[in-house]
Amino acid sequence: MAIGDVLRGRYRIRGVFGHGGMGTVFDAIDEYRVDRPSSGKRIAIKVLHTAVTQRDELLAELQSEFQHLQLLSHPNIVRVHEFDRDGDNTFFTMEPLIGALLSQVIGARSAVALPRPIALAMMRDIGAALAHAHSRGIVHGDVNPQNIFITNDGELRVLDFGASHKLLRDAGRSQRAPVATPGYASCQLLEGQHPDARDDLFAFACVAYVLLSGQHPFPRLTAIEARVQRLRPSRPPRLTGRQWQVLREGLRWERERRPADVQKWLDRFGLAGAAPHLPPLNALMNAPAPRKTGGARAAAAGAEAVEAVAIGAAASGAAAEGAAADRAAAEGAAADRAAAEGAAADRAAAEGAAADRAAAFVAAPFGAGVGTARGAGVDSESGGGDSC
């Protein structure tokens, strides 16, 4: 596919949103929507890779799952339209999204937790999407920050239900191995079992922990590795005892000990104080300034200069006081230079962050790219262990 190509005599390709393991997502115009302004004609098209379309059983399963996705009409789930073919090109169409992945928002904040009302609002929206899907027999199977999208206007969408599975699927019917991001997958998914709603809850609890604390509950480890090491996540700040207990229930290693109802789990956690809606994306990307800035370093240097004056005066009398004062003046000038350099560094950091946001790609729905906490490898180790 190239810019300017037209699919089905209707969808004109304008550019590329992104590439993924299953296909490439294009920015396109639906030329049949003649009654809409140009912005209303925009659409995203995912053209599946030939390696996918040549496997009849996989293509049939994708078509079946797409039909399930069409049932998921929810404001927090990306909307899909139709599954079609044009010659050798098999594709599906969906709403275009302009903004950033939650993983980008987290990265831009450099491990600084979101404001609590915003974190709770995100938990509410993600949970609502999952509860809606589960109520219709669909489990996501790969909930993680790379599959959660925030639009420029502050709307949240859960993406990549294409990795989902029918909850009541007959054993052995599917020939496709489950797909899950190792850093957020439960032990059962990493061991090769098909996902159910309790595995979505484990992944969601990991995401919630990141939203509340700015940190992953098991940094740089899979669930299996954390279980083997008997790791226990620390309690995020400002959580009540009740909230921490409920969050830990979602992080339990054993599937049978995790709740299956996402909405009831959230209700027990308590979302009082959640913002009614998310702010615009640019506000989410702006984290508070680091605690120790250039100005703070300069203040510390000034304090050391004052201490030097006092020590000199006590040791050498009035003559030494003059010399100490000279040294203090020189150190004060150095402190001033440090403050100026710190301010310049702060301005450079702010300009760099703004440039990063301006250069952020228009992320594509349905797995345009999947990042993991540990790369592509999945540890298949099993075994018992303590729960969180």
Task: List 7's β-bridge partners, or say none.
Answer: 11
**Are 80 and 132 in a shared domain?**
no
Is the CB of residue 321 less than 8 Å from the CB of residue 309? yes
Containing structural domain, residue 53:
6-94
Question: Does any domain span residue 289?
Answer: yes
Residue 383, pLDDT > 70, answer no
**Are 86 and 105 in a shared domain?**
no
**Are 226 and 271 in a shared domain?**
yes
Question: Does any domain span residue 335?
Answer: yes
Question: Does any domain span residue 352?
Answer: yes
**Are 170 and 30 in a shared domain?**
no
Q: Which residue did the predictor score with more confidence, 323 or 276? A: 276
pLDDT per position as a tens digit, 48-99: 998 888 888 888 878 877 887 788 889 999 998 999 999 999 999 999 999 9
**Are 44 and 123 in a shared domain?**
no
Residue 361, pLDDT > 50, answer no
Q: Which residue did the predictor score with more confidence, 83 or 323? A: 83
Residue 119, pLDDT > 70, answer yes
Q: Residue 222: its pLDDT value, please? A: 96
Q: Which residue did the predictor score with more confidence, 160 or 182? A: 182
Residue 290: band (very low, low, confident or very high) from pLDDT cuts 50, 70, 90: low
Give the residue from 94, 119, 139 where a domain finishes: 94
The torsion region of residue 137 among left (phi > 0), alpha (psi -120 to 50) and beta comes to left
**Are 168 and 198 in a shared domain?**
yes
**Are 16 and 128 in a shared domain?**
no
**Are 55 and 160 in a shared domain?**
no
Q: Residue 165: its pLDDT value, please? A: 53
| Structure token pair of residue 165 | 């599975």
- As a whole number of angstroms, the distance between CA 114 and CA 120 comes to 9
Q: Which residue did the predictor score with more confidence, 62 or 101? A: 101
SS3 track for 22-74:
CEEEEEEEECCCCCCCHHHHEEEEEEECHHHHCCHHHHHHHHHHHHHHHCCCC
Residue 265, pLDDT > 60, answer yes
CATH number, domain containing residue 63: 3.30.200.20
User: What mean pLDDT comes out for the span 154-174?
Assistant: 64
pLDDT per position as a tens digit, 202-250: 999 999 999 999 999 999 999 999 999 999 999 999 999 999 999 999 9
Question: Does any domain span residue 275?
Answer: yes
User: What mean pLDDT comes out for the span 279-303?
Assistant: 62
Question: Does any domain span residue 1?
Answer: no
Question: Does any domain span residue 215?
Answer: yes
**Are 367 and 296 in a shared domain?**
yes
Find, among 55, 61, 48, the residue nearest to 87 by Cα.
48
Residue 360, pLDDT > 60, answer no
Q: Residue 163: its pLDDT value, please? A: 56
- As a whole number of angstroms, the distance between CA 67 and CA 85 comes to 15
- Considering its fold, how many domains does the chain have in total? 2
Question: Does any domain span residue 341?
Answer: yes
**Are 51 and 117 in a shared domain?**
no
**Do β-strands 6-7 and 11-19 pair in parallel, antiparallel, or remain unpaired?**
antiparallel
Give the residue from 77, 94, 111 where a domain finishes: 94
**Are 89 and 160 in a shared domain?**
no
Give the residue from 42, 75, 94 where a domain finishes: 94
Find, among 250, 245, 248, the residue nearest to 261 by Cα.
250
Residue 330, pLDDT > 80, answer no
Residue 179, pLDDT > 90, answer no
CATH number, domain containing residue 333: 1.10.510.10
Position 27, amino acid: D
- As a whole number of angstroms, the distance between CA 30 and CA 37 comes to 11
Question: Does any domain span residue 271?
Answer: yes
Task: Tell me the pLDDT of the chain averaged across its residues.
Answer: 77
Which residues have CB under 8 Å from 307's CB, separation 6+?
A: none
Q: Residue 311: its pLDDT value, please? A: 33
**Are 187 and 63 in a shared domain?**
no
Which residues have CB under 8 Å from 155's CB, separation 6+?
A: 75, 278
